[in-house]
Chains A and B, each alone.
Chain A
Amino acid sequence: MEQGITRREAIKRLAKLGGAAALTVGFYGTLYGREAKVDPEPVVPATADFRVKGASNKVVVVEGVGQTSAETLVKEALSRLGGMEKFIARGDVVALKLNVSWDRSAELAANTNPEVAAAVAGLCLDAGAARVNFVDNTINAAERTFRNSGLEAAAVRSGAQVIYPSARLFKTMSLGGRRLNQWEVYTPVIEADKLINLPVAKHHGLTRLTLGMKNWIGAVGGNRGALHQDIHQSIVDLTRFFQPTLTIIDAVRIMVGNGPSGGRLADVVVKNTIIAGTDQVVVDAAALPLFDMYPDEIGYLMLAENQGLGRIEPEPGQLVEVQV
């Protein structure tokens, strides 16, 4: 006689069948309506505005005569602005946006001077910063660039950290610019309490000069080469997005030709000068006399004034020129 299945077995089988059906429906229901992602949702940053309230609007040009060290120049510039304590609070994480683009040694002036970078980092730490990060999205291979520029050693010497670029550190964000609406931002630049822009002043084939505002090209990722197609507006858009606590232009050695990469000592002139201030437009304009150039030769500077980022002509008493 054939044995039928027990009631227990029947319930088990029914439960299994029901479970499988529920899983199928659930799985389908989860996926229903999902489509291929066309554009990643841009991250809207809380702010990229790192300015501190009540800071002096002075722009200080410190020129060293004779054998003044880079550290002395930086200290003098900051003391004229009221001291680093005015900008850096105790416990701050400070992002130092250097220009570390090229696999070149320091004397070729293709990157921010390591002495200057170490001095600024030292002042930040003295002012109570918890951590100073050297950040830049290098153009040449990062390990070699940080090392051969002397900036890795400068970081170790001054107690700062080097952040090396990697794919996971870029995020698409809304910049809200006229030309650049959404772009990949190098997050270590803005994941900080304070942001100091510390470029080197040098020649550039397309824009004539690269100074503070142009340095923000190194704070983004993506197909950066494409920015060249509307370079001046791109720079102005980035300048509106990145509002640093302070801009310090390193003009200890400047590159006057074959920029921005240079490569020969013949491209370099020693100026022993530091320019510092909070007004991004005036700081850049203050560097022009070093190159015997005028604002109307620099497209992005004119555009910045036209679009209301600041005035090229300093207010009376805003520009302070000192020699040490």
Chain B
Amino acid sequence: MKFLGAKERWGWRGWRRVSQVFFLVFFIYLAARAQVPRGFNQYLFDLAARGQDLRLPAPVTFFFDLDPLVGLGTMISTWTLKPALILSLAVLLGVLVMGRFFCGFVCPFGALNHFFTQKPRRKNRAEKAGLNRPGPDRRVKYYLLLLFLLAALLGSNQTGLLDPISFLFRSLTLAVFPALGFLSDGAMSLIAQAPKPFDLVGFVGPYVLDPVFGFGLRAYQGAFIFGGLFVFILALNRIRPRYFCRVLCPLGALLGFFSRYAVLNLTKDQELCTDCGLCRVDCQGACGPHPDEPWLRSECHLCFNCQAACPTGALKFKFQFSRPGPEPSPLPAQDAPDLRRRAVLASLAGGAALVGFGRVSLAAPARPEPALVRPPGSLAEDEFLERCVRCGLCLKVCPTNVLVPTLTEAGWEGVWTPRLDFNLGYCEYSCTLCSSVCPTGAIREINAREKNETPIVIGSAFIDRGRCLPWSGQGPCLVCEEVCPTSPKAIYLVSQEVWVEPNKTERLPVPQVNLSGCVGCGVCSYKCPVKGRPAVYVSSVGETRSAVNRILLPE
């Protein structure tokens, strides 16, 4: 197994590498499949379709279903069980038995961080080993976890900000893929102008790249921020290997708590140890594999690098159902994270402060925000914020790109949650795809019949008569009426006397909105020829999910 750089025979480390690559590739595959497919893919698609309701055939929520932090955060903020809980329970059970195997074997963001720790050539072994000594900053992730969990308990679920699965999905699909799609599109257009037969690459390339990077050029508000954060987190690996996993990851902290009773132990044989220090050189968790220090069980990612590196066999992972005494190692393992009492209290206070400050900042639950139009099927705002983990799945699957992450439209608590931006797209009348992929049920699953017949209203359209072409006497237009998808149309035409010149009036057909028929899909706004700030716009008022953000008396 020389090609893997292994000195020993194929062992736990080899299986760990295979598993990491598999899950990272599977993650990227699922991320790429989270869109409406084209062409021959439709046969797969038909299998998953129910009537007019398109559904994705790939299990795109798999990693979110697996993630115990997503499960726990939603559970304690809503006091309900989330769908597909069984997978995350299986992960927790595995952690109870083996320790943090998820971090070493499964987590795709862990694998990516791991990859970026590889081979800093400037550093010699002693330097590398020095970076892998346990540091006090390992406790930060536990404090962050406690802060998030207390905030969740008080009704504000912020776990998704740092949850590794949500973080990776959001960064890849809303920043990295669209950016690569944009760059490759330019490159392909250039290559397509090359002399034959090289131009072929430019014509065939998009058929290979588009299914991965997405059909059409996508835009997401604030992608610069989370794309930049992603690059920053990966760059931190050059300062300390797996900085995110060791210091910031709240999921790692959660699994660290649960690893306490694990029966897979690192046994250290003091007799055999020659103090060569090789065990620390590639230690991923900075968990103290060397016999002269205690092994920190809650920090170990089970990367098995120490066992593989040890030339004398002094380090061995063994299933032991009774904890070994001081022999053969003079230092017993440390089973639980050693948290500081004051820091724990401070992080709990921080969690409470986060919610308190968030709510008094006039966040959306208290004050209807006109720009905050949520996807159809979204729960009422307070329940929505209890559930949404900002994973970006709904934004990725949206066929029109109308869904974008918020910045401040949903208040500070709701940063990066989905909203509709009618300059980028509109809500397709019978589309319910986003509701079918939400891993936490912040958008409950609806079907086209329910959406159109209830109807589920997400906002209301209004005409800005000063900008509207016929209303302001500039001439006929009526695109809004043309594209209105309801029948009868919620935008209708009336004949109106308007001024067209200083001393002249004319009768023109002008648009009017019938609010009792409007569902707020915003196709009128998106297609309005008055670009930028359209003459017909949608505001969140009238949304059926809210009891207060209404206009009309319910029938």
Residues of A within 8 A of B (CB): 102-103, 105, 139-141, 143-144, 147-148, 152-153, 156, 162, 164, 166-168, 204-206, 223, 225-226, 228-231, 258, 260-264, 266-267
Contacts and interface: CB of A to CB of B under 8 A. Distances in A.
24 contacts: A103-B431, A141-B399, A141-B425, A143-B38, A143-B399, A144-B36, A144-B54, A152-B39, A152-B42, A156-B40, A156-B42, A166-B215, A168-B189, A205-B478, A205-B481, A205-B489, A225-B479, A228-B477, A229-B475, A229-B477, A230-B475, A231-B476, A261-B484, A261-B489
B428 A139 contact: no
A267 B531 CA distance: 31
A140 B478 contact: no
Interface in B453-482: 469, 474-479, 481-482
B488 interface: yes
B215 A164 contact: yes
B476 A223 contact: no
B168 interface: no
B483 A261 contact: yes
B217 interface: yes
Contacts of A166: 206, 215-216
B185 interface: yes
Interface residues of B, number: 46
Nearest to B433: A144
Interface in B232-266: none
B482 A103 contact: no
Contact of A139 (B185, B478, B488, B527): B527
Contacts of A226: 529
Contacts of B37: 143
B478 A228 contact: yes
B346 interface: no
A266 B37 CA distance: 32
**Taking chain B's interface residues, is the majority helix, strand, or loop, or is none over half, making it mixed?**
loop
Given A164-B38, A205-B481, A223-B529, A258 B489 contact: yes
Contacts of B489: 205, 258, 261
B189 A206 contact: no
Given A167-B216, A206-B478, A144 B529 contact: no
Output the residue of A162, A205, A206 with the most chain B CB within 10 A: A205
Contacts of A148: 52, 430
Given A205-B481, A206-B482, A226-B529, A263 B487 contact: yes
Contacts of B217: 167
Nearest to B491: A205
A258 B428 contact: no
A143 B36 contact: yes
Interface string B38-74: 1110100100000010100000000000000000000
B528 interface: yes
B399 A168 contact: no
Given A148-B430, A225-B529, A260-B482, A206 B487 contact: no
A267 B487 contact: yes
Interface in B390-449: 399-400, 425, 428-431
Output the residue of A105, A166, A225, A229 with the most chain B CB within 10 A: A225
B493 interface: yes
A291 to B, nearest CB: 18
B485 A261 contact: yes
A263 to B, nearest CB: 3
B486 interface: yes
Contacts of A105: 52
Nearest to B484: A261
Contacts of A230: 475
A147 B482 contact: no
Interface in B272-292: none
A-B complex: 8 closest residue pairs judged by Cβ atoms? A263-B487, A225-B529, A225-B479, A141-B399, A143-B36, A264-B487, A226-B529, A258-B487
Contacts of B429: 103, 140, 263
Contacts of B509: 206
A262 B487 CA distance: 6
Given A143-B37, A261-B483, A263-B487, A205 B493 contact: yes
Given A152-B42, A205-B481, A228-B482, 11 more contacts: A143-B215, A144-B431, A147-B45, A156-B40, A162-B38, A164-B215, A166-B216, A168-B185, A225-B528, A258-B489, A261-B482
Given A166-B216, A225-B527, A147 B477 contact: no
Contacts of A162: 38-39
Contacts of A167: 185, 216-217
